[in-house]
């Protein structure tokens, strides 16, 4: 019998909110629910890193974006599942998932 281990991750979302009327807090809660539902784990920290200028602007003319970082515990397949789920979400410009982040630690 194989027991799947859980790991600590940090998912950083770069959001393109141009033309979106949904409040940022509601978007953050939606992504928190998405992460918890996909990974079967729990989100331990949500860090709103405010609206920042991008060092590498997108080709779509996005010069600044809202950055949200979620620390969560999930299965080894969680990063791939998350990337696939948000791949077609127009509000997500980029998403990066890092492994080994201790839950609750800030970078």
CATH number of the domain enclosing 70: 3.30.70.60
**Structural domain contains residue 79:** yes
Domain of 55, in residue numbers: 7-98
**Structural domain contains residue 106:** no
Q: What is the pLDDT of residues 46-102, one digit of tens each?
A: 998 888 888 887 777 888 899 999 999 988 888 999 999 999 999 999 999 999 866
Is-above-0.95 flag for pTM? Answer: no
Domain count, the chain: 1
Burial of 15 (0-12, 13-18, 19+ CB in 10 A): buried
**Structural domain contains residue 76:** yes
**Structural domain contains residue 2:** no
DSSP β-bridge partners for residue 99: 9
Q: Which residue has the tokens 């509000």?
A: 91
**Structural domain contains residue 15:** yes
**Structural domain contains residue 58:** yes
**Structural domain contains residue 72:** yes
pLDDT at position 4 is 67
């Amino acid at each position: 019998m194989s027991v799947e281990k859980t790991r600590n991750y940090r998912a950083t979302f770069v959001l393109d909110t141009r033309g979106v009327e949904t409040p940022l807090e509601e978007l953050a809660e939606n992504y928190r629910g998405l992460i918890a539902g996909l990974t079967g784990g729990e989100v331990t920290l949500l860090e709103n890193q405010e609206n920042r200028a991008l060092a590498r602007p997108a080709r779509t003319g996005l010069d600044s974006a809202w950055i949200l970082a979620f620390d969560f515990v999930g299965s080894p397949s969680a990063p791939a599942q998350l990337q696939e789920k948000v791949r077609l979400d127009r509000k997500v410009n980029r998403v990066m998932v890092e492994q080994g982040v201790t839950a609750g630690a800030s970078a």
